[in-house]
Amino acid sequence: MRPHDLLWLTGAAALEDTLPDWASASLAACPWGVVRRASHPAGFIPVGVRGPERWQRHAALVPTDTVTRSVPPEELKERRPRLPRLATALSAIALRLATELEGDTAWGPIGSVGFELATGQPTTHPGSDLDLLIRTPRRLERARAARLVTAFATLPSTVDCQLETPSGGVGLTEWARPDGPVMARTDHGPELVNDPWAPA
């Protein structure tokens, strides 16, 4: 399982004695968590638990045997968001990525849109951003990244796109700059890298 995968959890409400009340209630109503980046012991997966309010986010560790189903972002790209503005933006993104990226490039919605599409639980609102993940095991040239940023800026929803690189998660907007290092999000925290595709 990889960061941003959505996990359907069994017995999730009893995972931790220290869960905030809102997190226990949220998991009882919608037993899903999202894989997050963090170091973790063998046999456990770091997840984030969402509540109904934006400030309600909780980091937890769940045993691997509590995972009933895993849904990666790329499985969600064909589904239609509940709100028309987000649906229009996601359709336009699909067309743009089909022309800018190689045909086997995996991508999909994450954040509140991805959570809603996977779980059926309403989590988006009229002002919601459209968070996006593009898996880029091979180098994405900066000029191509800049074209994507320009195209996304014309959409009816604000698009926050992250590239999944061999070095970790890198913001598309950062990589679209002409030069300079970028911040890669890793299991051990943020790291400044010059080339997210350079051999380790």
Q: Is 2 helix (H, G, I), strand (E, B) or coil?
A: coil
Whole-angstrom distance, CA of residue 194 vs CA of residue 171: 13
Q: Catalogue the active-site residues.
A: 129, 131
The answer to whether the CB of 33 falls within 8 A of the CB of 103 is: no
Residue 137 is classified by DSSP as S
Q: How open is the CA angle 129-7-164, to the nearest 5 degrees?
A: 55
The answer to whether the CB of 54 falls within 8 A of the CB of 123 is: no
Residue 109 is classified by DSSP as E
